[in-house]
Chain A
Amino acid sequence: MQVTLKISRYNPEVDKTFHYETYTLEAEPTDRVLDVLERIKGQYDGTLSFRRSCAHGICGSDAMRINGRNMLACKTLIRDVGEKITVEPVLGLRIIKDLIVDMEPFFDNYKKVLPYFINDSPLPEDGKERLQSPEARLRFDDTTKCILCGACTTSCPSFWASDEYLGPAALVNAHRFIFDDRDQAAAERLQIVNDVVGVWRCHTIFNCTVACPREIQITKAIGELKMALETGKLD
């Protein structure tokens, strides 16, 4: 089949603002959008810039807007998006070049929620691992799946309005540790997210849940953080 890609282009050394360029080429319905982008870069226009790494939906490098919705190019098949495809960078972050955005504000917000395991108590007697019941593990199972692609945060209108807002991805990672019963910094993290630019900025728009390529129930996780702040219960 023949597909036409309308791609947002921006070269900071030449352009004042972004513009679109169109490429028409042959593709299989089972090709991924990333395959087609690779072909354009390799065979048609070597100046096209985009991020990619593992190309298998794990590294989260190639989040972009495909036909107006945030997706991973490596997980999106041509047959699912049609013959006319518009590809743009994600919203809410500064464009560095073409489809590449500055992820620093995103990672700054991520770091604010202390996204790492904190437990200063001595190791168990066998010195190996801190055991956890399957039920306790299940409590935060969904939010362990985050790959930090930023598709959720950059689909959130509250984040578009202000990058002070921690954003769904940071809150998902706060959830992952707050509800882990082996971790000891839940109170500290709850204080961090208990802010007008924390969980309270979430207006349950659900864009994040729709955008997440890992199908994490993000709005639900943020709701659980709100309930934890109201009740203090982490079970």
Chain B
Amino acid sequence: MTEKSRTVSLTKRGFNFDTFMWAFVRLSALAMYLCAFIGLGGALIMGARTQMNLADIMRWMFMPNPNHVLNTNIPDIAPWTTVFWKIMGSAIVLFATSHGLYGLLSVLEDYLTEPRLRRAMRILFVLLTAVMMAIGVYIMWTS
């Protein structure tokens, strides 16, 4: 028998918020790893290996903010404060908060059965996430 490939188009199988978020949480997790490894690589290139302890490197990896190199022996922090690192830090903030938001919304779905309370909590979580995103990005670009 001849086998033919079976596919179902997006319009026929449907696409909704959860279909998007399932892919997004996986890709955003990978993106956060990528950002962290870029942070680690950048830190080592900029002299972290001999001038920073492991804790400082780890903090830089997951939040590349120049405040994390102020207390080290690095004499010149100019390379640590470029626009590139601000974009990298902002990307981690945005990926982490949106990734975590979907987790929180899933917990609400599982544990809150009262529809109005669930809707109210969803709105509260989305607003809190937006505020945390704004604070995180603000810090990235002003410190």
Contact = CB atoms under 8 A, between A and B. Distances in A.
B1 A131 contact: yes
Interface stretch (A14-22, A84-92, A186-194, A211-219): A186-194
Contacts of A132: 1
Interface in A210-235: 226, 228-230, 232-235
B6 A233 contact: yes
B111 A232 contact: no
Contacts of A235: 5-6
Contacts of B14: 190-191, 194, 229
B13 A133 contact: no
A190 B13 contact: yes
Contacts of A201: 109-110
Contact of B3 (A135, A157, A226): A135
Interface residues of B, number: 23
- The winner among B1, B5, B111 for most chain A CB atoms within 10 A is B1
A41 interface: no
Given A187-B13, A200-B18, A133 B3 contact: yes
Contacts of B110: 157-158, 161-162, 201, 203
A161 B113 contact: yes
Given A157-B110, A203-B106, A229 B6 contact: no
Given A190-B14, A191-B14, A133 B6 contact: no
Interface in A101-156: 131-133, 135-136
Interface size class of A (residues with CB under 8 A): 20 to 34
B13 A161 contact: no
Interface in A23-61: none
A194 B3 contact: no
A96 interface: no
Contacts of B50: none
A132 B6 CA distance: 14
Given A158-B110, A200-B18, A230-B22, A191 B13 contact: yes
Contacts of A226: 22
Interface in B74-105: none
B142 interface: no
Nearest to B2: A133
B23 interface: yes
Nearest 8 A-B pairs (CB), nearest first? A200-B18, A187-B12, A234-B6, A190-B13, A191-B14, A194-B14, A133-B1, A161-B110
